[in-house]
Amino acid sequence: MAWTVADIPDLTHTVAVVTGANGGLGLETTRALAARRAHVVLAARDQTKAAAARADVLAAVPEASLEVVPLDLGDLGSVAAAAQRIVDSHERLDLLVNNAGLMAQPHRRTVDGFEMQFGVNHLGHWALTAQVLPALLAAPAARAVTVTSTAHLYGRAVDPSDPHLERSYGPWKAYGQAKLANLHFALGLQGTFNRAGVAARSLAAHPGLAQTDLQSRSVREHGGAVARFAERAQARTGMPADRGALPQLRAATDPAAPGGGFYGPRWGNNGPPVRKPLLRTAGLSAAIRTLWRVSERETGLRIEVPRWG
């Protein structure tokens, strides 16, 4: 039988942070977690949209426990402030869903000078995870879920000599690199947990083709034949956002989901959420080590877990 939100266990006393919670997959993830009694922190850049998202969830789940925290993943100062606010407000963090992201944008830079897609999709989440890690490790069995995309299949591993694609930028090339980095980050974080012997789990998920604003924003801001094709495909065959959110919800809440697990739609871009095999595993360990070095160098933040016991 297909996994649905009805399979999410009771989450009373659970504290969850969802990035990009003001719309699309993030909003649906927030709604589902709140309906199962989690306290959900909506971490989002646009505070007007975040307030509207909070009202939307409360309209469907009047008893929802919600908190809004400003977070701009393209600004390490904002990330640090958001992380500090979260750890100051909560002794422990049970669930972190690294959901927010950009797709196929024109060449731009973050506040800190990073290529925008790599900066927001990966480095911002790296920095957030690094700075809320003590709260995650304080939970008895925390999970970090990082959302990638089928675009990771055409992405290239990060080149430490050119992580921001200064030599050869392309909107889809940058998106593929960022989404592959998301997957490598999730797997590398699980390796870190394993080596430390802690109970925390790191998982990855991809939504397939979901009807959110991601494709439309790419068309508005970049255009191009590929973006327009993706937008048309989304409208014709994409899943509603609530179904597109199921893989990350399963990764976040299924008691049987293992650390290092990767979840997505059964039929590639559509279907119920299932555990997916990892492809392109040649050179995986080296790519993860390189990503770790680049991420530490660019953000100045390390992800280290003291060995338990």
pLDDT of residue 210: 86
**pLDDT of 113 above 60:** yes
Q: Structural domain tally of the chain?
A: 1
pLDDT of residue 214: 57
- Give the DSSP H or E segment for 203: strand 201-205
C-alpha to C-alpha distance for 102 and 88, rounded to whole angstroms: 29
Domain extent, residue 225, equals 10-298
Which amino acid would we find at residue 299?
T
pLDDT of residue 226: 52
Catalytic residue among 154, 169, 175, 263: 175
pLDDT confidence bin for 85, thresholds 50/70/90 = very high
Among 104-108, 123-127, 213-217, the range of highest mean pLDDT? 123-127
In a domain, 160, yes or no: yes
- From the number of C-beta atoms within 10 Å of its C-beta (0-12, 13-18, 19+), residue 255 rates as exposed
In a domain, 227, yes or no: yes
Q: Please give the residue that has the higher pLDDT: either 262 or 213.
A: 262
In a domain, 1, yes or no: no
**pLDDT of 215 above 50:** no
In a domain, 137, yes or no: yes
**pLDDT of 237 above 70:** no
Q: For position 243, which CATH number holds?
A: 3.40.50.720
**pLDDT of 233 above 60:** no
Q: Please give the residue that has the higher pLDDT: either 224 or 244.
A: 244
Structure confidence by residue, pLDDT tens digits, 23-73 = 999 999 999 999 999 999 999 999 999 999 999 999 999 999 999 999 999
Structure confidence by residue, pLDDT tens digits, 152-179 = 999 999 999 999 999 999 999 999 999 9
C-alpha to C-alpha distance for 283 and 180, rounded to whole angstroms: 13
pLDDT of residue 122: 98
In a domain, 2, yes or no: no
In a domain, 143, yes or no: yes
**pLDDT of 230 above 70:** no
pLDDT confidence bin for 1, thresholds 50/70/90 = confident
pLDDT of residue 218: 47
C-alpha to C-alpha distance for 117 and 74, rounded to whole angstroms: 9
Residue 278 neighbours by CB under 8 Å, 6+ apart: 187, 262, 284
Mean of per-residue pLDDT scores for the chain: 93
Q: Are 92 and 139 in contact (CB under 8 A)?
A: yes
Structure confidence by residue, pLDDT tens digits, 284-297 = 999 999 999 999 99
**pLDDT of 114 above 60:** yes
pLDDT of residue 211: 72
Q: Is 263 a catalytic residue?
A: no
In a domain, 305, yes or no: no
pLDDT of residue 213: 58
% the chain with pLDDT above 90: 88
**pLDDT of 234 above 60:** no
Whole-structure pTM value? 0.93
Residue 295's nearest CA partner among 151, 144, 121 is 121
In a domain, 3, yes or no: no
Structure confidence by residue, pLDDT tens digits, 115-145 = 999 999 999 999 999 999 999 999 999 999 9
pLDDT of residue 29: 98
